[in-house]
Amino acid sequence: MHLSVRDVLLALCLAFSASFRPVWGRPATFEEDFRITWSDSHIAQIDGGRAIQLKLDPGSGCGFASKRRYLFGRVSMKIKLIPGDSAGTVTAFYMNSDTDMVRDELDFEFLGNRSGQPYTVQTNVYAHGKGDREQRINLWFDPSKDFHDYTISWNHLRVVFYVDNVPIRVYKNNEARNVPFPRFQPMGVYSTLWEADDWATRGGIEKIDWSKAPFYAYYKDFDIEGCPVPGPVDCPANPKNWWEGSEYHRLSSVEARRYRWVRMNHMVYDYCTDRSRYPVPPPECLAGI
């Protein structure tokens, strides 16, 4: 990715201004803001409680979730994924309304690989129970060697998925085109580590190698900035929330350039161009960024 001096300066300005954004409440911590939802024996706090370790073995995977739900805002985590042969595993970071058939959901799913292959991240959006909006990109770095930042930004007009501040997915509010948008239901923040070798790697061709188990993923630097529910009833509709500001209505010029670079060089699947599933592209696919 080649950026001009102007792009670099703009990016630095954005990063500098972001560090002074007002925060709704305090920074998130695992002990105070999350609960273990699945297999507490497979989740451990490490580094003096500053990070957590998730484990997958033949007996179980595991998961955790936020104690509260949120309506609009920004959530992020730093994650270090499973190294080596991780085929058949899925490490997920997502938001979910937990409302069954009418659920809203915003997904990061990191699909394991055979050693030497790129790590693929799949994003998906469910709105009012309608999903099947998968996009996949191959990450341009090895996400198992160090922690990287994964972010979901959500306001009334759009959802943006970021990897290290690079936008990889934009889902706009296209209710005017009769496309549902996650606007009414608060969502919790979730993460899971689990076995999915029926589909996760090359469509299920590559199966999990349990001789490599246990598999570990690591999390730290939890950040939730949004409107907690229950909480102040006027928060979700407050136009003064920083995530509703005009600079978050569309991608900046730097972000748009990075977004195009990702899509041109690293996208490996887009439901919008899958004519076997959608002979006529869904209406949101025609809206651009």
Angstrom CA distances, 197 to 32, 92, 139, 204, 212, stand at 33, 14, 20, 5, 14
Q: Of 31, 32, 109, 175, which one is the catalytic site residue?
A: 109
Using only C-alpha atoms, the chain has a radius of gyration, in whole angstroms, of: 19
Sign of the Cα torsion 101, 174, 235, 16 reads positive
Predicted confidence (pLDDT) per residue in 42-61, tens digit: 999 998 888 999 999 999 99
Contact between 77 and 219 under an 8 Å Cβ cutoff? The reply is yes
Q: What is the pLDDT of residue 10?
A: 44
Q: What is the pLDDT of residue 204?
A: 87
Q: Of 32, 105, 134, 206, which one is the catalytic site residue?
A: 105
Predicted confidence (pLDDT) per residue in 101-122, tens digit: 899 999 999 999 988 789 999 9
Predicted confidence (pLDDT) per residue in 79-94, tens digit: 999 999 999 999 999 9
Task: State the average pLDDT over residues 231-242.
Answer: 94
3-state secondary structure of 138: strand
Tokens of 55: 């484990």
pTM of the model: 0.90
Kind and range of the H or E run holding 189: strand 188-195
CA dist 233 and 76 (Å) reads 24
How many Cβ atoms are within 10 Å of 224's Cβ, its own excluded? 22
In the chain, helix, strand, coil percent, each to 5?
20, 40, 40
Q: Provide the number of structural domains found in the chain.
A: 1
Q: Which residue segment(s) compose the domain that 39 sits in?
A: 5-286
Question: Does the annotation count 109 as an active-site position?
Answer: yes
**Cα–Cα–Cα angle for 149, 66, 208, rounded to 5 degrees:** 65
What CATH number did the domain enclosing 22 receive?
A: 2.60.120.200
> Across the strands, what pairs with 277?
none
